[in-house]
Amino acid sequence: MSSELAPLRMPAFTWEWGRRTYVMGIVNVTPDSFSGDGLAGQDTEAVVARARAMVAAGADVIDVGGESTRPGHRPVDADEELQRVVPAITALAAALAVPISIDTSRAVVAEAALRAGASIVNDVRGLTADPEMAAVAAAARVPVVIMHDRRIERVERLIPDVTRELGARIERALAAGIAWEHIIVDPGFGFGKTAELNLVLLRRLRELTALGRPILAGTSRKGTIGRVLGVGPEDRVEGTAATVALAIANGADLVRVHDVPQMVRVVRMTDAVMRGWSPD
């Protein structure tokens, strides 16, 4: 938990790191989301209705993605991704008072999404897949979530490699002109790591505060939870709740989740324990 970090101040919102944990609600406009919650082919009213419900339940930001990142997913081209996310973001920007994040690794998609009303870029490839991505985010002066996605196989290399590789990606962002205060890091739970390593990553998450940036934890409904509990994505709410609570206890500032009403309650309870609580 990063109480020593300067707040993220944007024209439409301010996040004061350390005061509480922020909640990012996931809206997938894909047909093949691993969690089974994709809204591809649905009209924008369905997308807006889901996002409104998340905001009413306490989501601080809505993350819109148009391409699945599950293992074995079908890649889509930029045109298809644009057709999925731009109408959704346009409708959401008109309907919601909270910021909208675009979950993409393509600069052309990020740029179009920002024009449509998004105000955060969430790149699961950490600015490495598209050489123009960092420049797009820098020009728009928006926050970026930089994730770690490199394969790691040995537990003794886990924290050193995640720290080193995220550090390099932070340097790439700064060199492109992205402001230090606009950078959020995501250690990539479920990306390039075995189930065993994901659990160690969660247990040692606080060590990543050495990077000096707020941490996003994206554990929601992930395969590691399924491996441990032996359940499908639709039955991972309790497992997600455990990982969200532990992530916050170990230093997370922002959590990305599918089940917003349940996880907002988990966040509030964990914050009360970890950050303090008053009946007023």
Strands 183-186 and 144-147: parallel
Instruction: Return the DSSP state at 185.
Output: E
Q: Which of 94, 126, 96, 123 is nearest to 110 (CA)?
A: 123
Catalytic, 256? Answer yes
What is the CB-side half-sphere exposure of residue 214 using CA atoms within 13 A?
A: 26
How far is C-alpha 90 from the chain's CA centre?
Answer: 20
Catalytic, 222? Answer yes
222, 227, 265, 275: the catalytic one is 222
Residue 80's CB is within 10 A of a number of other CB atoms, namely 13
CA distance 79 to 99: 24
204, 256, 265, 275: the catalytic one is 256
DSSP-derived secondary structure for 17-79: BTTB-EEEEEEE--S--TTS---TTS-HHHHHHHHHHHHHHT-SEEEEESS--STTPPP--HH
Q: Answer yes or no: are the C-beta atoms of 212 and 167 closer than 8 Å.
A: no
Catalytic site residues? 222, 256
